Structure 1
Amino acid sequence: GKAPRRVVVASFSSHVHRVQQVLDAAAAHGRRVAFLGRSMVRNMTIAEDLGYLKVPDGVLIDYKKARDLPDDQIVYMSTGSQGEPMAVLSRMANLDHAIEPGPGDTVILASSLIPGNENAVYRVIDGLTKLGANVVHKGNAKVHVSGHAAAGELLYCYNILKPRNVLPVHGEYRHLMANARLAQDTGIPEERTLLAENGTVIDLRDGVAEAVGQLDLGFVYVDGSTVGEITDADLKDRRILGEEGFISVIVVVDATTGKVISGPEVHARGFAEDDSVFEDVKPKIAAALAEAAQSGVRDSHALSQVVRRTIGRWVNQSLRRRPMIVPLVIEA
């Protein structure tokens, strides 16, 4: 059927052939096309310069000018088919973009779902549907076939190229393995098909490729403006803070006798309960400190461990939580 208003097509910004189809279809139906998303604009400019993208005369229009056209004369070619939060399509679905989809608009997701992105993509589809747009995607229409070669096509490729060495890339290990087996089926010796993972070092010498080493590659975490400084321990701390909450306990003790002079003051963050629930545990903390003082413990670090253990056990038993506990014992 005919789309009554605007049409938005989302695909990868590297899929030149898909963009070509959209340009051709738009030209055939008297619509103009505007590119949305920095990577889409950049890639298609390069593709046109290199002659991979043939733009029919007068079809392309800058998106700022496109808004002056009647709705049924415009197609937006956008990024964000995988539900990326900052890409054009997600922002449209959240009404956080100059173009606000509504009833009568058609949105076409011309892409497969990359496994793991399902929730993000369905969120975008839901958002667009709520706004009244007609969302066309692989699940309800024939708008996309996989861009990955099937086994038969890979065999065809190996038979034409007759490579001396084969290094399958892309996909999980099981996919690399299946690809290597296909290469071996076309007569490439097993020792010439290399299965490499991230960080595998491969030497190519005299026409023979071989794996000669493995670099130890981990994750590099980016946090604000620091790169690679944040550790697994920091992330663990943050997870505890995020999921379990935070408690600080401040106690002032007499340096000579070890008796509690002031406090304990308990402050909690990230708890549903009021700070008043901690009234029950305060005498327990004072008692534990008195006991420690009697045993001759005067070191403020050791005393703060006593505080941590006491409140930690109590919170775990009564609230079923394991928060981060920061005790501060001050000697006066």
Structure 2
Amino acid sequence: MMVFEYGTTLFVIDAGLMFPEDYMLGVDFVIPDLDYIKKNRSLISGIVLTHAHEDHIGALPFLLKVANAPVFGTPFTLGLVRNKLEEYDMLHTSKLHEIHPQERLKLGPFELEFIRVGHSVVDGVGIAINTPLGLIVHTGDFKISHTLNDGQNTDVRKFARCGEKGVLALMSDSTNVEKEGYTVSDREISAKIAEIAHGSPGRIIVALFASNINRIQQIVNIARDRNRKVLFNGRSIEIAVRIARELGYMDIPEEVEITADQLDLYPDEEVIIITTGSQGEPMSALARIAAGTHKQIKAKQQDTIVLSSKFIPGNEKAIANIINKLYKRGADVVYEKISDIHVSGHAFREELKLMINLTRPKYFIPAHGEYRHLVLHARLAEDMGIPRQSILVAENGQVVEFDEKGARVRDTVNTGRVMIDGKGVGDVGRSVLKERRVLSEEGLVIVNMAFDEETGVVVYGPEIVSRGFVFETETGHLVDDAQCVILEIIEDVGPEVPDRIKVIRSRLQTALRQYFYFTIGRRPVILPFIMVI
């Protein structure tokens, strides 16, 4: 998410989410902190979306709850946005406006012109932003390829025309700055998949990102040329294909597509299944196929499974688990470590150099990447002749300021991560994550007991229930000894002690934690439930 601001007007570019890291137990996804937006909601003139990936549109429903500003995006992007807003019951209150490459959009003192860029999703755009101080070019996520479908390649001429006019600043995608050369041609990937299809004796099941419409069309073309039928399976891929067909981005002959109910009507060697789950998502169609729980598709001997996507860091274990399960079911699996069956949607170093040469910016701002990517992209720009003092590397929350004297990184605004846990927004913080980690690693002990109100004598318990670290049937002596620890505390804290229950609860937690650490090397969470009856 990025905010442009001038005077009393601001607009937002993209509103993405990220998926939880390993330590974020139970968290569904993470969105940006919207505190600055909330404080300035009356100044927002619009929200502009560059493309339809989740890291650019996933947080839009949460942003619109804070500031219901007009949303601008290309047809395919808005198609997926509409579906997302329907899920949140927000479509009827949202103001969505289609934009197209070459069109201009006026937002207060800003005039935006959209430039077609090639990426791993159709309908992506970069933005030429005319400001009172000069032209700023935001590339969006891009690669420079001439092998995508018609109308989907990056418009290098338009970026060059921006350079001819004079570019105050270039904000450029840094994701693949570590990769030398150029991105692999989409035609090479298509040829590789066609080769796999030719050599496969049975069904072919291809798992990929649902938004990768160009790749899906390539697979459909391969199926048509080899007289195979295509089955789309998985909710997200079915939605993406439906939207792409309605907009004319896909050409799928009626005689090629089949439904899941028709699958058994065709020999295995005449079927290609396109599905989701290439990142090991636990509830995806591919995960259910691997586990044998999919109602209509079962992996079997002579199946060829193709994972046509890059392994996103953090997902490697989940993906490896699915691959192992598929092999156990007799299928053959093709993935990026053993075959070139994926091409990145982000520019490699030579393409990044070309973008700098095309636009010839006065200032350079590396964007979209981890901090090392920004630094490496900054060094690349310096190698391309941009003075070091004209390269601005900004972290999340830092403000890049332009005025008549130049540009600089200054100040910060409140930013950070907000974790979404079920229906809770921001309810999960460091303390909750720590508690979940402790529960997952150390376990839980529950102590139930009741005292007589008049005599102070124990009338029930102490009953001890453990979860996550010890099985009572196998280690009954631990429970018996723990009960002794509790009874000693009760005997020591007599009925005459003020706030007796509170004192017992506190001492009980400390003593049991020490006891379990001494006996089994664990510090479980101790939850005493004490009643007075």
TM range (shorter): 0.7 to 0.9
Distance 1:279 1:182, change over 3 A: same
Does residue 265 of structure 2 align to residue 64 of structure 1? no
- Residues 253 and 261 in structure 1, CA contact (< 8 A), matched pair in contact too: yes
Runs of 5+ unmatched residues, structure 2: 1-197
Deviation at 1:175, TM superposition (A): 1.2
User: What are the superposed Cα offsets for residues 264-320 of structure 1, whole Å, 9 maximum, x if unpaired?
Assistant: 5131221223455333344444444444449x6321212322233333322222232
Does residue 183 of structure 2 align to residue 183 of structure 1? no
Does residue 524 of structure 2 align to residue 326 of structure 1? no
Deviation at 1:179, TM superposition (A): 1.4
Deviates more, 1:164-173 or 1:119-128: 164-173
Distance 1:234 1:71, change over 3 A: same
Match in the other structure for 2:513: 312
For 1:322, the aligned partner's letter is R
Tell me the matched-pair count. 328
Match in the other structure for 1:21: 218
- Output the CA distance in 2 between the equivalents of 1:224 and 1:159: 46
Does residue 205 of structure 2 align to residue 5 of structure 1? no
Q: Percent identity?
A: 34
Match in the other structure for 1:30: 227
- Output the CA distance in 2 between the equivalents of 1:261 and 1:101: 59
Deviation at 1:155, TM superposition (A): 0.6
Counterpart among 430, 433, 436 of residue 235 in structure 1 = 433
Question: What value does the CA root-mean-square deviation take over the aligned residues?
Answer: 3.2
- Residues 229 and 258 in structure 2, CA contact (< 8 A), matched pair in contact too: no
Match in the other structure for 1:297: 497
Q: What is the TM-score when the length of structure 2 is the normalising length?
A: 0.54
- Output the CA distance in 2 between the equivalents of 1:208 and 1:34: 56
Match in the other structure for 2:445: 246
- Output the CA distance in 1 between the equivalents of 2:314 and 2:517: 34
Distance 1:212 1:146, change over 3 A: same
Distance 1:272 1:325, change over 3 A: same
- Output the CA distance in 2 between the equivalents of 1:329 and 1:30: 71
Instruction: Tell me the secondary structure at the aligned position of residue 246 of structure 1.
Output: strand
Distance 1:286 1:112, change over 3 A: closer
Deviation at 1:202, TM superposition (A): 4.4
Distance 1:163 1:33, change over 3 A: farther
Instruction: Tell me the secondary structure at the aligned position of residue 528 of structure 2.
Output: strand
Does residue 469 of structure 2 align to residue 273 of structure 1? no
Structural mapping, 1:215-230, within 5 Å: 215-230=413-428
Counterpart among 277, 288, 310 of residue 80 in structure 1 = 277
- Residues 302 and 331 in structure 2, CA contact (< 8 A), matched pair in contact too: yes
- Output the CA distance in 1 between the equivalents of 2:225 and 2:370: 41
Structural mapping, 1:73-222, within 5 Å: 73-97=270-294, 98-202=296-400, 211-222=409-420
- Residues 223 and 256 in structure 2, CA contact (< 8 A), matched pair in contact too: no
Is the radius of gyration larger for structure 1 or structure 2? 1
- Output the CA distance in 2 between the equivalents of 1:208 and 1:236: 45
For 1:157, the aligned partner's letter is M
Deviates more, 1:132-141 or 1:246-255: 246-255
User: What are the superposed Cα offsets for residues 176-197 of structure 1, whole Å, 9 maximum, x if unpaired?
Assistant: 2111222232233434433233
For 1:64, the aligned partner's letter is A
For 1:247, the aligned partner's letter is I
Q: What is the TM-score when the length of structure 1 is the normalising length?
A: 0.83
Larger RCO, structures 1/2 (Cα 8 Å, 6+ apart): 2
- Residues 466 and 472 in structure 2, CA contact (< 8 A), matched pair in contact too: no
User: What are the superposed Cα offsets for residues 27-73 of structure 1, whole Å, 9 maximum, x if unpaired?
Assistant: 221223232223323333444455544x2644641433651333222
Distance 1:323 1:129, change over 3 A: same
Runs of 5+ unmatched residues, structure 1: none
Distance 1:329 1:80, change over 3 A: closer
Instruction: Tell me the secondary structure at the aligned position of residue 103 of structure 1.
Output: coil
- Residues 303 and 329 in structure 1, CA contact (< 8 A), matched pair in contact too: no
- Residues 307 and 336 in structure 2, CA contact (< 8 A), matched pair in contact too: yes
- Output the CA distance in 2 between the equivalents of 1:229 and 1:177: 34
Deviates more, 1:185-194 or 1:146-155: 185-194
Deviates more, 1:322-331 or 1:105-114: 322-331
